[in-house]
Amino acid sequence: MPIDWHAIQEKWRKKWEEQKIFDAEPDPSKRKYFVTVAYPYPNSPQHIGHGRTYTLADVHARYMRMQGYNVLFPMGFHYTGTPILAMSRRLAANDEELVDTFTSIYKVPKEKIASFKEPINIARYFHNEIKQGMQEMGYSIDWRREFTTIDDVYTKFISWQFRKLKEKGLVAQGSHPVGWCPNDGNAVGQHDTIGDVEPEFTEYTLIKFELDGYKVPTATLRPETVFGVTNLWINPEAEYVKASVDCENWIISSKCADKLKFLNRNINVQSKLSGKELAGKKFGVPLANRTVTMFPASFVEPGDGTGIVMSVPAHAPYDYQALEDLKQNKSLLSSFSIDNNQLEAVKPIVIIESEGYSGVPALAVINKYKIKTQDDPKLEEATSDIYSHEFYKGKMLDNTMHYAGMNVARAREKVKQDMLDKKLADIMLDLIKPVRCRCGAECVVKLLSDQWFINYLDANWKSLAHDCINSMQLMPDEIKPEFDYTVDWLKERACARKSGLGTKLPWDEDWIIESLSDSVIYMAYYIIAKYVNNGSLRDAQVNDAFFDYVLLGNGNANGVAKSCKISVELLNTIRNEFEYFYPVDSRHSGRDLVPNHLTFFIFNHVEIFPESKWPRQIVVNGSVLMEGKKMSKSFGNIVPLRSAVRDHGADAIRVSILVAAELLQDADFTLDAVRGIRERLERIYDMCVQFTKKDSAKLELEDQWILSKLQHIVENTTNAMDKLRVREALHNIIYSMDQDIHWYLKRATAKERSNDSISGVVRQVLDARVRMLAPFAPFISEEMWEALGNDRSVMLASWPKFDETKVNFVADESETLIINLLADAHNIIKVTKMKPKKVFIYTATSWKWNAYMKALSMVMQGKINFGEIMKQLVSDTSTSKVKETPEIVKRMIDDILSDPLNSRQRKARLEFIDEVQIFEDARSFLGKELDADIAIYREDDSSRVDPKNKAQVARPYRPALYME
Ligand SMILES: [Zn+2]
């Protein structure tokens, strides 16, 4: 019977809600587990990509519940910030692209869009969409704790957070660089940029070369390499200007002149000129009495730095390769007044020596990475390779004036400072990579003079953040260096804007706290939200004393209750609930939030809360590809989550997203996979319906085998789940178990066993399987669980426990023996292309078993030398027969060595197994599988039929085969 997925989704959602299965209340008799996932930003419906993070968090929550924890898994909605505002403006202006996205991709009804001129209506609409999607996906959320970041009590909570930071001196106003959109006149963070890129910037040194009284600055991160300059690079097609910059005359790109204005430099453009006009001219090198030539180069981006680049071919692989390319293509120079001799005269000047490099270091690293042209993407890697190598290990050579002998790290600072003092250099903040605002404008760095910022530069604060990272669990742990790097890298960060939705800065109401600053400790608010939503706590009753008491335990309950006009009882109930559920046990998010949100989350927790309330775990996941491609509007391959659920059902979507990859890998989502998963789920359900009889008679060999195998799967899957290796877990539950059951049924059928006689065993396997499937495919698992005769939700059942007493090594090895024999036989049939009427199996004789066990025990002690093993065997009368056939011993040792370690250990414990008995048990099965008569003989059976004398090659676990 086909499954009506929608009906079962409806049915179970209703039951869960009625039974309040996901409402978490403090219960001191149970261990608690608090799982949170980054709350969504309601400016679009969720798609399959979002589905991965939320589904993973839900699976985690459900798994921990089944492990006996009292799990709290809540959800809120993040309204804060400018993107919704910007969207509303674009819609009001009838922006075609956005209207099209809303109607054709997001399927927003036309009449709704008219109301979107009010930003709050956009937020409310998508909030509702996302919430319904989460419910349809079956997320086990305690919805009593839902809130938005513009709720009155929430804004009081954020005001409290900011007053705390300000008291500690960590929020300040001052001149401060921010990523900036010149078009919107507003600071930009990751959420405001195309592709969600964090605008990262750094401080460049501008080295001033000279031409006819003009300074020609070039931006660099390696000022110490000025001694190795051989030439300059300029883009001949780009526009440059002569301008006075704070009363000094400079030549820079037009784009650079624009950027300097945002850095509060005083710029007066005098005239424009093309890059071509400067090519071929000679420029004075600062600190040195020599000149270098300007060469044209199309790779120079006029928007990077000053649009002019100094060339240090001995230490910069890009420069070395660009010069080589130019020498190969001299005709490029013909339209500039440069002759070939000028180019040929350029020779790399080595100024740094470092262990491991001789000659020209840039050339060495180019050869190492096998780079052939300047377009090779490996140049980036080569550059950072030599950059860090020379920084840590390099020493300045004799041709670097009084810097000779200094290590590079020190020389870099010295050269920079000396040149700044002599006005031979300047500094400039610039973006590390170009970033575009969502409005399309190219972002710049702006120095804001009255900006409010959070001082993440504070050394004590950084060290506490590192302590927290070191004490918490990161999943996967390979993500840790990214956190440490971010903590070290973070500087002051703008925390307020002039526009957008959110909480006003409590002491300066012209400012609104921005979205990456009001979303760092909100997990604590889920405790309070429940009391706001059920009406027992009102906005007017909440003040700083309330938060101090509930969240930090500061103050006196009677005094605080009085000041809030609430009962001491209620106050303490809220406080106790916070004490019970906090800290966060697991925080889930996509990897893109490591450099901002997740790190801010750590910073703010360590500052505001005592160590006992610091987060205990962060789980980071990668992104989702759609049929192998990145999801994007331009590919038209964004699938909204709700429509996917409508088309395929929630369970198949959930499993397909998670089965495709482990945590950090990209998960490829394909519709074929979804269909395949759905069919498999339906088959598992059918089986639950089919096998109704609960008990079994005597256990046969295959029964013992599958029950033992089940224990291995449970043990393995539990280990995988504890590390959230969900792909491995799902492969066990869905694919490996399918294979095992398939094999088992074939074995049982061959013996003509009735369904009733195997039903008890099959149900034991299904019982564990459905429990393990439940966190992943909750709806169909409930149906299966019900079909197996249970009357309570599977969510209230426990996760299966590994039971060592059910592990049966004899059964494990016996079945493996049959599996291998069948594979060997099929192989021979395939190779010889014969169609056997009769298959003869010969099992090894007892002295071979003695020899095998001895050899095995020697190998396990690390003695794998053939001569040594032979000597031992020959000296023992029970195995001295090996003298006649040393070849057999050699092959036994090979057998043992090719066996995995756990299998060797099992075999060593088993001693001897009766292979004839095992094959007799499987005789009918083997006959069916091979479509032939089966004859089974011991090697030393004198009555055996053995026309080709094959029996003598039989070895333990490796019977000999003959077919005719
Ligand atoms: Zn913009």
Q: What pLDDT, on a 0 to 100 scale, did the predictor assign at position 18?
A: 95
Question: What is the 188 CA–ligand 1 centroid distance (Å)?
Answer: 8
Question: What is the 570 CA–ligand 1 centroid distance (Å)?
Answer: 47
The owner of tokens 């890009």 is: 318
Question: What is the 437 CA–ligand 1 centroid distance (Å)?
Answer: 5
Question: What does each C-alpha distance from 197 to 494, 527, 593 come to in angstroms?
Answer: 16, 32, 10
Distance, CA of 664 to CA of 619 (rounded, Å): 10
Cβ atoms within 10 A of the Cβ of 578, count? 20
What is the DSSP-derived secondary structure letter of residue 37?
A: E
Cβ atoms within 10 A of the Cβ of 271, count? 9
Contact status, residue 778 vs residue 652, Cβ threshold 8 Å: no
Distance, CA of 188 to CA of 436 (rounded, Å): 10
Q: What pLDDT, on a 0 to 100 scale, did the predictor assign at position 583?
A: 97
Question: What is the 117 CA–ligand 1 centroid distance (Å)?
Answer: 18
Question: What is the 441 CA–ligand 1 centroid distance (Å)?
Answer: 5
Distance, CA of 891 to CA of 944 (rounded, Å): 24
Question: What are the phi and psi torsion angles at 304 (to 5°)?
Answer: -90, 125
**Judging by DSSP bridges, how do beta strands 70-72 and 171-181 pair with one another?**
unpaired
The amino acid occupying position 785 is W
Question: What is the 193 CA–ligand 1 centroid distance (Å)?
Answer: 8
Task: List pLDDT tens digits, range 84-135.
Answer: 888 888 888 888 888 888 998 888 998 899 899 899 999 999 999 999 999 9
CA atoms within 13 A on the CB side of 742: 9
Q: Considering the entire predicted model, what is its pTM? A: 0.81
Question: What is the 225 CA–ligand 1 centroid distance (Å)?
Answer: 37
The parts of the chain modelled with pLDDT lower than 50 are none
* One-letter-per-residue 3-state SS of 102-160: HHHHCCCCHHHHHHHHCHHHHHHHHHHHHHHHHHHCCCCCCHHHCCECCCHHHHHHHHH
Question: What is the 97 CA–ligand 1 centroid distance (Å)?
Answer: 16
Task: List pLDDT tens digits, range 247-296.
Answer: 899 999 999 999 999 999 999 999 999 999 999 999 999 998 899 999 99
Three-state secondary structure call for residue 423: coil
Residue 755 exposed, middle or buried by CB count within 10 Å (0-12, 13-18, 19+) = middle
Question: What is the 189 CA–ligand 1 centroid distance (Å)?
Answer: 11
The owner of tokens 């059910």 is: 806
Question: What is the 510 CA–ligand 1 centroid distance (Å)?
Answer: 21
Q: At what angle do helices 671-690 and 778-787 cross, to 10 degrees?
A: 20
Question: What is the 81 CA–ligand 1 centroid distance (Å)?
Answer: 13
Question: What is the 457 CA–ligand 1 centroid distance (Å)?
Answer: 27
Kindly state the tokens that stand for 659. 């089965």
Task: List pLDDT tens digits, range 901-936.
Answer: 888 988 988 878 899 999 999 999 999 999 999 999
Q: Which helix (H) or strand (E) holds 782?
A: helix 778-787
Question: What is the 754 CA–ligand 1 centroid distance (Å)?
Answer: 72
What is the DSSP-derived secondary structure letter of residue 752?
A: T
Which of 835, 899, 33, 86 is closest to 437 using CA atoms?
A: 86
The amino acid occupying position 225 is T
Q: What pLDDT, on a 0 to 100 scale, did the predictor assign at position 96?
A: 86
Which of 960, 921, 923 is closest to 938 using CA atoms?
A: 960
CA angle 306, 310, 311 (to 5 degrees): 145
Contact status, residue 587 vs residue 615, Cβ threshold 8 Å: yes
Question: What is the 194 CA–ligand 1 centroid distance (Å)?
Answer: 10
Question: What is the 183 CA–ligand 1 centroid distance (Å)?
Answer: 5
The owner of tokens 């007066």 is: 268
Distance, CA of 390 to CA of 350 (rounded, Å): 12
Distance, CA of 454 to CA of 496 (rounded, Å): 9
* One-letter-per-residue 3-state SS of 227-288: HHCCEEEECCCCEEEEEEECCEEEEEEHHHHHHHHHCCCCEEEEEEEEHHHHCCCEEECCCC
Question: What is the 192 CA–ligand 1 centroid distance (Å)?
Answer: 8
Q: What pLDDT, on a 0 to 100 scale, did the predictor assign at position 203?
A: 92
Question: What is the 182 CA–ligand 1 centroid distance (Å)?
Answer: 7
Question: What is the 195 CA–ligand 1 centroid distance (Å)?
Answer: 13
Question: What is the 588 CA–ligand 1 centroid distance (Å)?
Answer: 30
Kindly state the tokens that stand for 418. 């000396």
Question: What is the 519 CA–ligand 1 centroid distance (Å)?
Answer: 23
What residues have CB less than 8 Å from 644, skipping those under 6 apart? Answer: 48, 51, 653
Question: What is the 801 CA–ligand 1 centroid distance (Å)?
Answer: 55
